[in-house]
């Protein structure tokens, strides 16, 4: 018997995958963990915040879709993650998320977009609308419909970031209820406007 419903499970998977993405880029995990817990588990970013640089000198920016791509303190070695405050359920929300992603990605930042949607094709749509290089998406049965979550990554992430997210998903799969496991799927998307 699962301790979590499907929506909780989807939030947990988003959080675990985000932690893996950050650690994959050699960011100090301990700096990020406590503040991301509240921001990702059940609540997307409704405002921007930045974590101070650790030994690496890298900053981590988490923002909703209103992030300012011209922010003067964002450097090329920093990591920016956009996490919209609501699912990408309309063309306007999708466009806003794509625009926010491109503002940062076109500056050369390592940018990711962590999204939540009801439509499984959203990941491919985002790749086609942006300068994103690749993405990974997963679907999980939720209370009323299937829920799709995923990442879109800019060009300058380390090679293998999507495969690392897939490993996290595969490692978490045995903890899901049998019904959720049967409905779970994931895939990597490559392409976009390259």
Q: What is the pLDDT of residues 8-64, one digit of tens each?
A: 777 778 878 877 777 766 555 445 555 555 555 444 444 445 555 555 666 666 676
Judge if pTM exceeds 0.75.
Answer: yes
CA separation for the pair 73, 77 (Å, rounded):
11
> Tell me, what's the pLDDT at 46?
45
Does residue 126 fall inside a structural domain? yes
Q: What is the pLDDT of residues 82-140, one digit of tens each?
A: 888 778 888 888 899 999 899 889 888 889 999 988 888 888 999 999 989 999 999 98
Does residue 1 fall inside a structural domain? no
CA separation for the pair 16, 20 (Å, rounded):
6
* Tokens standing for residue 16: 């675990």
* Among candidate residues 43, 35, 34, 53, the one with its CA nearest the CA of residue 14: 43
Does residue 36 fall inside a structural domain? yes
- Domain carrying residue 55: 6-190
Domain count across the chain: 1
Does residue 161 fall inside a structural domain? yes
């Amino acid at each position: 018997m699962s301790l979590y419903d499907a929506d909780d499970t989807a939030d947990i998977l988003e959080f675990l995958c985000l932690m893996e993405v950050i650690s994959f880029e050699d960011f100090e995990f301990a700096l990020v963990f406590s503040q991301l817990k509240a921001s990702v588990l059940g609540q997307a970013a409704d405002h921007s915040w930045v974590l101070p640089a650790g030994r690496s000198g890298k900053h981590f920016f988490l923002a909703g879709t209103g992030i300012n791509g011209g922010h003067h303190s964002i450097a090329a070695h920093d990591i920016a993650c956009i996490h919209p405050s609501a699912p990408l359920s309309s063309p306007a929300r999708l466009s806003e998320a794509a625009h926010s992603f491109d503002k940062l990605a076109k500056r050369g930042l390592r940018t990711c977009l962590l999204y939540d949607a009801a439509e499984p094709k959203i990941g491919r749509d985002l790749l086609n609308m942006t300068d994103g290089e690749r993405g990974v998406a997963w679907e999980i049965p939720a209370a009323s419909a299937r829920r799709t979550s995923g990442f879109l990554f800019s060009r300058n992430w380390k090679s293998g970031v999507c495969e690392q997210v897939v490993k996290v998903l595969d490692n978490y799969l045995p903890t899901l209820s049998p019904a959720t496991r049967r409905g779970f799927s994931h895939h990597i998307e490559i392409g976009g406007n390259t």
